Amino acid sequence: MNTTQKATNGKYRNQTYLTVVEAIKPKPAITLSKLWEMYVVYKAPTVAVSTLKNAYSAISSHVKKLPKQSLEDAVEIRDYLINNFKPDTSKKYLNNITACCDWGVEYGHISNNPFLGMAKNIKTQPKQLEDIKPFSKAEKDAIIKAFETDRYYSHYASFVKFLFFTGCRTSEAIGLKWKHIDADCHHICFCESYVRGNRKGIKTGKPRIFPCNAQLQNFLKSIKPESCEPESLVFPSPEGKEIDDHNFLNRAWKGYKNRHGNKVDGVVTKLVKEGLVSEYRSQYHTRHTFVTQCLEAGINVVQIAKWVGNTPEIIMRHYAGITAAIEVPLL
């Protein structure tokens, strides 16, 4: 109501008028898709670029495609994920959605988290140990030689040699610069990696020094440019940029299908068909090969772990039992 004064016979009296007041509209409930979008924006400054590009991007795509978007339909959303994805994947997505809703509650965007506790009830298979199948020395030599003589991919021969000679992770070799190798090529400092457009620290977060034996030292000297800039890549792509690991694996190493749908064999796939390599394995098995050969040479597990950036426990868990048979010594 609104009260005013009106003149009557020289005097004023109060008069009341009614005014129309619009009803306050309830705030529309936020959708899961919108909440996830806000959550990603919040997390962006604190997570790795690769996490945004890969993990969060994939989840964003699937959240947008969910048949239900209301948080009141949490059970139906859970059932949809379970019925359309493998247990590991559905559990991962639900864990991320739960974290998103926890954040939403904390910052007042939603009143409660309807997904709480759902992910833990999804049963998944226990993780199996990685299938470790190192290349034999003959296979290693055949792969190196094949890259050196390949019409299209000889540029990558030095890169492949280095993977075999050091057992480093692919991302560490791609990110390596000449400033990371001392002037006489006695030592390599593995402290940076390059993964899908993102340069960052190595997986363990702790730089490690790798000592070069005579073979590796001579190799590095042979490929080192005369006018070497510290920031230059040791193993650039043909275009002078960082090697695309996905492109290298699925073209140079393994092979691909051309635009006509015909399969074009990569270097290692050809060697398998020629009988020079027993079975196909990815380039990451160069790391397994290095570790296995070191074990067979009798090098201490602790030392190998330091060289490749693992713990002795990981080395023993993954590689115990796969080295070539060694005779029991005379005691």
Query: What's residue 19's pLDDT?
Result: 59
> Which of 12-16, 37-41, 44-48 is least confident?
12-16
Query: What's residue 144's pLDDT?
Result: 98
Mean pLDDT, to the nearest integer, of 24-42? Answer: 85
Alpha-carbon 194 to chain mean position: 11
CA distance 192 to 120: 36
- Pair type for strands 2-8 and 11-17: antiparallel
CA distance 160 to 143: 8
Task: Write the DSSP assignment of 82-99 as a string of letters.
Answer: HHHS-HHHHHHHHHHHHH
Write the pLDDT tens digit of every residue in 42-81: 998 887 776 777 788 889 999 999 999 999 999 999 999 9
* 3-state DSSP assignment of residue 201: strand
Top-confidence residue, 236 or 195: 236
Contact call for residues 134 and 292 (beta carbons, < 8 A): yes
In the Cβ-directed half-sphere of 96, how many Cα atoms lie within 13 Å?
24
Alpha-carbon 222 to chain mean position: 32
- The number of beta carbons lying within 10 Å of the beta carbon of residue 303 is 11
What confidence category does residue 12 fall into, taking pLDDT thresholds of 50, 70 and 90?
low
Mean pLDDT, to the nearest integer, of 153-162? Answer: 97
Write the pLDDT tens digit of every residue in 209-240: 999 999 999 999 999 998 889 999 999 999 99
Query: What's residue 317's pLDDT?
Result: 82
Query: Domains in the chain, please, with CATH?
Result: 33-121 (1.10.150), 137-319 (1.10.443.10)
